Amino acid sequence: MNVIELSPLDLALAALLVIALAAVSRWMRLAVEKQLLIAALRTTLQLLLIGLVLKALFENAHLYWVALMALGMVVIAGREVVARQKRRLAGWWGFGLGTLSMFVSSFSVTVLALLTVISNHPWYAPQYAIPLLGMVLGNTMSGISLGLDRLTQDAVQKRPMLETRLALGEDWQSAIADSRRDAIRVGLIPIINAMAAAGVVSLPGMMTGQILSGTPPVEAVKYQILVMFLIAAGTGFGTMVAVSAAARRLFDDRHRLRLDRLRQD
């Protein structure tokens, strides 16, 4: 493959665009220049660090190292799910529920793809396992965080209606059913939009990267289709599990709405 290597100067020239954007932001008094520059710095440092980690992992492709890195990715993603919610479940539920949902859904679809579709030897080869898990996990994280945020916001805003329905004899499943469906639908919107626009409005990241590295376009398309389907499954099942479990947590055994189980930052 004919890969064109980028020099530090090439990256510095690209960074000038971000700096120019920050300068315009300051001139227009948008007050986002600081966040923009910090985000750019974090992106640079984090990607350089993960590049070194992946290099070491590729050179020592043992199952326990791959599993350890995958577990670390899930834990960090779980923390991000909590951070993106305006209201979240108090205690360990806020972190544990989203993390467990991502672990079940993302790991399941990624391992299934590695064992049955890609069929590489060994099946946990990091050059396949880590990128696939990262893409599925990142999108699942977004879907779960959006779904949980919508559910908890609905529970607070519709409290009088929910308590009225409970008082009229409905159980908690029926009372929260509409909000639960809306929350799951919101969590699925990003991946549905991404699949609908793929190849027409935008070229997805993995496909673009493979084409730039010299992979034949048709092969790059096949891998991108696989990834999109894995992301859809991981996001869908993960959001369904997380939202359903969170909805149950909002009610006690006597079918009473318990908003005291939510925490707002």
Give the mean pLDDT of 191-210. 79
Give the mean pLDDT of 25-44. 92
Structural domain ending residue among the three candidates 42, 59, 76: 59
Report residue 172's pLDDT band, with 50, 70 and 90 as the boundaries.
Answer: very high
Q: Which domain holds residue 78?
A: 62-264
Q: Does residue 193 share a domain with residue 152? A: yes
Report residue 148's pLDDT band, with 50, 70 and 90 as the boundaries.
Answer: very high
Torsion sign across C-alpha atoms 39, 40, 43, 49: negative
Give the mean pLDDT of 116-135. 88
Give the mean pLDDT of 200-220. 76
Cβ partners under 8 Å of residue 93, min gap 6: 246, 249, 261
Q: Lowest-pLDDT range, 10-14, 196-200, 253-257?
A: 196-200
Q: Lowest-pLDDT range, 47-51, 86-90, 115-119, 238-242?
A: 86-90
- pTM (predicted TM-score): 0.83
Structural domain ending residue among the three candidates 59, 79, 103: 59
Q: Does residue 202 share a domain with residue 76? A: yes
C-alpha 83, offset from chain centre: 12
Q: Does residue 173 share a domain with residue 45? A: no
Q: Does residue 80 share a domain with residue 34? A: no
Task: Give the chain's domain count.
Answer: 2
DSSP 60: T
- Core vs surface per residue 211-231: b (16+ CB within 10 A) or e: beeebeeeebbebbeebbebb
User: For residue 62, what are its two tokens?
Assistant: 């043992």
Q: What percent of the chain has pLDDT over 90?
A: 47
User: What is the structure's pLDDT at 202?
Assistant: 67
User: What is the structure's pLDDT at 233?
Assistant: 94
User: Are 251 and 176 contacting, i.e. CB atoms less than 8 angstroms apart?
Assistant: yes
C-alpha 189, offset from chain centre: 13
Report residue 119's pLDDT band, with 50, 70 and 90 as the boundaries.
Answer: confident
